[in-house]
Structures are given as structure tokens and as C-alpha cells.
Amino acid sequence: MSNQLNFDPPSPKQVVSYVALVFGFLVAAYVIWSAAYIVDAHEQAVVMRFGKYQSTQPPGLRFKIPLVEKAVLVDTSEKSMRLPWGHQERMGDWSDPYATRNNEEALILTGDLYAAVVEWNVFYRVTDPEKFVFCFDEDHVQQALIAVARSTMHRIVGDYSADETLTVKREEIALAALDQMREALLKFEAGIEISDLQLQRVTPPESVKPSFDAVNGSIQTKGQLVYEAQRERNSLLPIARSDSDKLIREAEGYAARRLAEAEGEIAALLAKYESYKLAPEITRERMYLETMERVFASGGRKLVIDKDLKGMLPLLQLGGSATPGR
């Protein structure tokens, strides 16, 4: 056909230019792709140039020199590790793989040579990405944390009795283990910080658990009896104190009364003594008469007879009372 279009094949120079253009485009795409990287919100990037630390980059879109610099992303979020097994989990992931846990691994010897099943959580995070990258990798960090946590907990629990570990000293044990784990990790200079340590399950071994439950029941019964005794004591103590105060007031009143009486008697004796000093004979006679008056008044009927009289008085009525006027 006369209208058919004719296409001339490209020349070698054109082919070379096309290939060079495509190659240049691919190289530029690779450079851009390898130079750009994204740091997530829970990460930081450690940039190394020829294996030497260069800088630490915060979250966001970042760039590096391809083939010269390397960016290592470090997760700085808080993680939790369930011990003594070393199961690691991110915050918010509370999976519970009890199927792979063996209670024998959780047995710890106490200070009184008993055993307790102790489980705890360690919360940690990377605080210095540079030290973290150059000191450990992720697997070595986990192994180091497990070793430090186990040795620390065994040492701390070994300082307490089984009863203290299972009951009243749990918080104290957790705080002591947290402090000692922090001190141990500082020596590693791994850029990791232990933020918290929580005891999860502290129980006796299964073989002695029934006996332990019985002991706990006895302790609870003892506490209840002590509470009832204290309540009874608190109800009776005010009454006893009131009675005590009443007796004390009565004794004090009696003492004051007796003191006043004694002081009055002393004053009377002193007054008699002063009178006696002024007129001894008269005072002695008056005292004699007063004394005889008191004796005769309390002695009943008195008969005065003549000492020279022989025989009985003819008018003496021995069986009856005297006739008035006679």
C-alpha cells in the first residue's frame, strides 16, 4: 500500500543511549531507595559510617549515604520478660504460654532451706542505642537479662524464709531484686534500663501446697480470734478504766478525810498541851475527871459502898433496878 508507514531501525548509538538512560534511572532509583529509611515512633536509628558510630537519629524519614553508612534500627519501647523462663513480650502483648512452662524451673531455695515457686516480670527498655548496638545483639541481651534476673532473684530469696517469701515480704523482695538488677546491668554498659520488676506468682510446690493451705487457714483463724479478743478488750477496757478512776477518787477522798481528822486530833492535843503547860495541876485534874466521866458513862450502873460496912446493904436490890427517888 502506498499509505503504509516505514519505520527505520534505531541506530547503535541510539540503543546505547537508551540503555544508558535506563541504567542511570535504575541506579538513581537504587541510590534513593538505599539512602532513605523510616524510623518508627518506638525506634531510634544508630548510623555507622564504615562501622564507626556516627549519630543517633530520632523517628521519622531519614537519609544515609549508600554503601558508606549503615542505619541500625533499635526498638526503644518498653518490653516485658516473664521469668524464670525468659518469655519476651512487647507491652500490650499479654500472651500466656503456660504450656511451655515447667514449675521445676521456677523453684527457688529459701533461707530456711525450703523451696518456693517464684515467677516474676521484668520490664526493660533501651535507653542508649549506641551502647546497645555495640555491646549486644538482641539474642545476647535476652540471655544476659535472664542470667542476671535469675541469679539476682535466687540470691535475694535466699536471704528470706519461706514464710516471708510467700506472705509478707514479697514487696520487699521485689524492690531489692530491682535495685540489684539495675546495679548489675550498669556494669555491662549495654544501654538497657530495668524500669520495673513485679512478682507474679509466689506459691509453694504442688507437693506441699495442701499443707501450706492448711497453715494459711490456721493463720487466718488465729487472726480472726485475735481480732475478736481485741474487740472484746476494747469494749471492756473503758469500763475497767472507769471503775479504776472511781476507786481512785474514793481512796483519795478517804485519805483526805482521814488526814483532816488526824490534823484535827493533833490540833486538839496541841491545844491541851498548851493548857497543861499553863496550869498543869488543874489540867491534869480536869483530864482525869473527863476520863472518869467517859468511863462511868459507858460502864453501866455503878454502886458506891462504904469500905467499913460489913455485910450486904439491907436496901440493895440485886435482882432489879433501883427505885427512883430512893
What are the tens digits of pLDDT across the range 225-234?
Answer: 999 999 999 9
The pTM of this model reads 0.56
Under the banding of pLDDT at 50, 70 and 90, the label for residue 94 is very low
Percentage of the residues of the chain whose pLDDT score is greater than 70: 82
pLDDT score recorded for residue 311 = 60
pLDDT score recorded for residue 6 = 55
Q: What is the DSSP string of 175-211?
A: HHHHHHHHHHHHHHT-SEEEEEEEEEEEE--GGGHHH
pLDDT score recorded for residue 1 = 44
How far apart, in Å, are the Cα atoms of 261 and each of 93, 101, 127, 256?
90, 90, 89, 9
Which residue, 197, 219, 208, is CA-closest to 81? 197
Average pLDDT on 115-136 reads 89
The set of cell numbers assigned to 34 is 538505599
196 pLDDT exceeds 80?
yes
163 pLDDT exceeds 50?
yes
Of residues 266 and 275, more confidence is placed in 266
33 pLDDT exceeds 50?
yes
pLDDT score recorded for residue 142 = 82
CB 114 within 8 A of CB 162: yes
Under the banding of pLDDT at 50, 70 and 90, the label for residue 46 is very high
Of residues 166 and 60, more confidence is placed in 60
pLDDT score recorded for residue 323 = 47
Question: For the chain, what are the domain ranges?
Answer: 13-74, 79-204, 223-293
What are the tens digits of pLDDT across the range 278-325?
Answer: 778 887 888 888 888 887 777 666 666 666 666 655 555 555 554 444
134 pLDDT exceeds 60?
yes
Counting Cα atoms < 13 Å in the Cβ hemisphere of 13 gives 0
- Least confidently predicted of 90-99, 207-216, 267-276: 90-99
For domain 79-204, give the CATH number.
3.30.479.30
Phi, psi at 52, each rounded to 5°:
-105, 140
CA 167 – CA 288 distance, rounded (Å): 88
